[in-house]
Structures are given as structure tokens and as C-alpha cells.
Chain A
């Protein structure tokens, strides 16, 4: 019998009390690490999605000067984003209007919405529509959603998940062809009152969701 080993319970038994703070520390470390990692992943995903939305908006707005529908259509075909559903459209801006308050989500499912202008009055704004090179009226909208049916399915998600919804506005200068008004002059001849174009400010609205 060795009396010098009075309290000795063996290699593990002797270190048992020290294992408690050790395990506690490991639990704290791994739970904090997991939580930090998740927050980082979520932040990185948000940042990446935001960057994607900005990138697709940059493709659509080009140099912030839009000449006609075909230019918009070409830009729309060049947009490549994955993991994000989006719908982008151009709406006119009324010169002199200071207040601009509307719900862009409404424009996702229909092509017009109510806009709150000054003094609580509302006006209807619609997606910009102009004739293309073949004189056919086209709406300035672009989306990576294949068909309307799909959009209806995703409508629920758009409304419910505010966290994963991105709405971005970008002003663009739009080269609007002036309509040729026919007048009759005193000599009985007809002619055009105007030719050329006016560059108007319009608004590119990008609504994207995960």
C-alpha cells in the first residue's frame, strides 16, 4: 500500500473536476463559433444578393441614357443572375413632382399603381410604353420569371418575405421620340409640328426576391 497516493483515483478520475470547465469552454466556443459563422454567412449572402441586384440594375441602365425599346430589350437579354427572381420596369417621372410615394410590389403583378403626390392626392402611374422599330407598342419591363403563372406562385413569397425582398430605384434619361402632330396651314397643306426627341427623366425600378 502506497500512502503517498492517498487521494489518487487514477489518471482520468484525478482530472475529472478539470474536465467540467474544459467541456463548458468547448461548448461556449463551438456555439459562439457556429452562431458567428451563421451570421457571417447570412451577411455575406445579403451582401452578395445586393451586389447581384446592383449588377443587374447596372446592366439594365447602361450609361443612364436609354435611346429606345430595342436598347432596353438588348440589355434585358444580357442580364444573367442566379438564385434571384426579379422584375424590372421603367416608369415615367413627372417634371416638377417632389413627392414620390408608391408601392413597387404592386407593379410586379400589374402594370400600374397608385402614386401619392402632394396634398394627399393620388395619381395612377403605368409602366412606360412606347412603339418599337416595327411600330408595335411595347412595355419597358424585364424579368427572369418564365411565365405569368410562375409569377402568381411566387407572389405569396414576395409579400411575405420582406427580408429577402430588394427594391431599387435608378433615374435614367430616356430619349423620347416626339409625336408628329399634323397641322393644316393656311395654304391647305399639312405638315408636322415637331420632329426629333426630348430627353426625359424616367425611373428604373428593380424588384428582386430570393
Chain B
């Protein structure tokens, strides 16, 4: 009797083998499908990070004209960072740290450097000071500058679906900490490529008897273009020019 069942047992074994192989083949298929996209994602991320790092250094190294002329015409050329440091040293009468002319130079410079990516990517540039209190060494962290190039979805009859994303560059303010921006803002904009933070030392002459250097961090974040509304709300970033887009 046992001999008669020998053939059936080997067919069952072969069927089990086929099931196992089918499972393995399915696993390999999914691995193959994911591997391609993984490699592409990793490659793009690596390139974007390299680009952001180069862009950040270029922004920090660039020159600007002190007399508001072009670099070719100007008689007084200095590093943009030097002008920015000079502005930071003394608080203006209106309470602002940076002059409007410095902001315009910085905006032009950032937009020029980012122009190869500006069609498809949004970005955020910031300088964040890590000032310490004189009395108790407490950290008085604050954003010296935040420049955001992004867009909001607005009604547009000419666009398909009746909506369009308008994108502009805008200076923003925030009372939140850098960590809060990192978490709450980044979470809402998707895959972010970020340049490593560079240290910048800003002279602070608000107390003329006690001038000092304040350590600040500067970085650049970039991500594929998206509607920034949720990220602005979540991070409490105040960008008047950008937010006015929806009102106009």
C-alpha cells in the first residue's frame, strides 16, 4: 500500500517547492521594483544636497555693491556677508536688524544662485543666531533672517481645475525656535534636501560698552514645489508678501 502512494508524495513535494519558489520570485520582483526607485531617490537626494551646499557657500561668499549700482559700475564693492554683519551690529531705529537695501541684495543673490532649480523647487534660507544672555548665559535664540521662495494655491480661472500655485520670494519672521521650524515646517513640505549648517559670527554692538560676537547658523533647505499653506500654519512662519498672494 505504501508503495502505491510514493508518486503522490513526490508531486506534493514538488508543489510545495513551486509555492516556495513563487514566494521567492514575488519577493525578488518587489525588491526589483523598489530598488530602481530607491536608487533614483538616493541619487537625486545626493545631488540636491550637493547643490544646496554649493548654493549656500556661494550666497555667503558673494559680493554686493554698497552704492546700489551693479557690480560692474560700482565704486564700492564688499562681501554681502560683511554688509549683513555690519547691519546686524547696530539695531535700526525701527527695531530692524537689517537694512532694506541689504535685504534686496540678499534676495537678488539667493534667487540668482538658485535660478537653475527655481522652476521646480522651493527653498528656505535662514540665519539663526545663538545669542547668550549676559546675565545668566541663557540662550536667546532668534532668526536673523528667513527667506522663503515658495507658493500658495490661488484661484485662477485660466488654469486647469481653476487653481494655480503662485510662487514668490518673501522675507519671513518667526518667534519659534529653529528646532520647531525643522520639525513643523519640514514635515509639511515633503522630501527636503538640506545643506549642512555653517557657522557665522555676527558682531553685536547693541551694548557699546560690551561689543561681542554672536554665533549664528546658516543653512539652505530645498524641496519639490508645493503649496506652502499648511507648512506656514504649522510652523507659525509669518511671510507677509507670500500670504498676501491669497488676498490679491
Q: Does B102 touch A at the CB level, under 8 Å?
A: no
Nearest chain A CB to B21 CB, angstrom units: 4
Nearest chain A CB to B87 CB, angstrom units: 19
Which residues 43-67 of A sit at the B interface, judged by CB distance below 8 A? Answer: 43-44, 46-47, 50-51, 54, 57-58, 61, 63-65
Chain B 41-70, CB-CB to A under 8 Å as 1, else 0, gives 011001100110111011101110000001
With A18-B14, A200-B62, A203-B116 known as contacts, the answer to whether A50 contacts B43 (CB < 8 A) is: yes
Nearest chain A CB to B30 CB, angstrom units: 10
A47:B42 contact, CB within 8 angstroms: yes
Q: Does B175 touch A at the CB level, under 8 Å?
A: no
Which residues 12-57 of A sit at the B interface, judged by CB distance below 8 A? Answer: 14-15, 17-22, 24-26, 28-29, 32-33, 35-36, 39-40, 43-44, 46-47, 50-51, 54, 57
Q: Contacts of B61 on A, CB cut-off 8 Å?
A: 64-65, 173, 199
Instruction: From B3-11, B176-184, B199-207, give the one contacting chain A.
Output: B3-11
Contact of A63 among B57, B62, B114 (CB under 8 A): B57
With A15-B10, A171-B58, A173-B57 known as contacts, the answer to whether A97 contacts B25 (CB < 8 A) is: no
A25:B21 contact, CB within 8 angstroms: yes
Q: How long is the Cα–Cα vector from A170 to B75 in the complex, in angstroms?
A: 29
Contact of A39 among B3, B35, B75, B119 (CB under 8 A): B35
Q: Contacts of B43 on A, CB cut-off 8 Å?
A: 46-47, 50
Q: Does A83 touch B at the CB level, under 8 Å?
A: no
A95:B28 contact, CB within 8 angstroms: no
Of the four ranges (under 10, 10 to 19, 20 to 34, 35 or more), the interface on chain B belongs to 35 or more
B32:A93 contact, CB within 8 angstroms: no
Contact of A199 among B6, B21, B79 (CB under 8 A): B79
Q: Contacts of B108 on A, CB cut-off 8 Å?
A: 95-96
Which residues 118-169 of A sit at the B interface, judged by CB distance below 8 A? Answer: 168-169
Q: Contacts of A97 on B, CB cut-off 8 Å?
A: 111-112, 115
With A8-B3, A14-B7, A64-B54 known as contacts, the answer to whether A99 contacts B14 (CB < 8 A) is: no
A18:B116 contact, CB within 8 angstroms: no
Q: Contacts of A101 on B, CB cut-off 8 Å?
A: 119
Q: Contacts of B116 on A, CB cut-off 8 Å?
A: 100, 169, 171, 203
Q: How long is the Cα–Cα vector from A187 to B39 in the complex, in angstroms?
A: 69
Q: Contacts of B17 on A, CB cut-off 8 Å?
A: 21-22, 25
With A21-B14, A95-B109 known as contacts, the answer to whether A43 contacts B35 (CB < 8 A) is: yes
Q: Does B118 touch A at the CB level, under 8 Å?
A: yes
Q: Contacts of A40 on B, CB cut-off 8 Å?
A: 32, 35
B25:A22 contact, CB within 8 angstroms: no
Q: How long is the Cα–Cα vector from A28 to B206 in the complex, in angstroms?
A: 75
Of the four ranges (under 10, 10 to 19, 20 to 34, 35 or more), the interface on chain A belongs to 35 or more
Q: How long is the Cα–Cα vector from A196 to B118 in the complex, in angstroms?
A: 32
Q: How long is the Cα–Cα vector from A94 to B75 in the complex, in angstroms?
A: 19
Which residues 97-116 of B sit at the A interface, judged by CB distance below 8 A? Answer: 108-109, 111-116
Contact of A32 among B29, B47, B53, B62 (CB under 8 A): B29
Contact of A35 among B32, B39, B42, B62 (CB under 8 A): B32
A24:B18 contact, CB within 8 angstroms: yes
Q: Contacts of A193 on B, CB cut-off 8 Å?
A: 75
Q: Contacts of B36 on A, CB cut-off 8 Å?
A: 39, 43
Residues on A lying within 8 angstroms of B by beta carbon are 4-8, 14-15, 17-22, 24-26, 28-29, 32-33, 35-36, 39-40, 43-44, 46-47, 50-51, 54, 57-58, 61, 63-65, 93-101, 168-173, 176, 178, 193-194, 196-201, 203
Name 23 A/B residue pairs within 8 A (Cβ), A-sorted.
Answer: A7-B7, A15-B7, A17-B11, A21-B17, A25-B20, A46-B39, A46-B43, A54-B50, A58-B50, A64-B61, A65-B61, A97-B115, A98-B115, A99-B119, A168-B47, A169-B51, A172-B54, A172-B58, A173-B62, A198-B63, A199-B62, A200-B62, A200-B71
The 5 A-B residue pairs with the shortest CB-CB distance in the complex, in nearest-first order: A173-B61, A100-B115, A64-B57, A25-B21, A18-B10
Given contacts A21-B17, A54-B46, 6 further A-B contacts (CB under 8 A): A29-B24, A39-B35, A95-B109, A96-B111, A173-B57, A201-B113
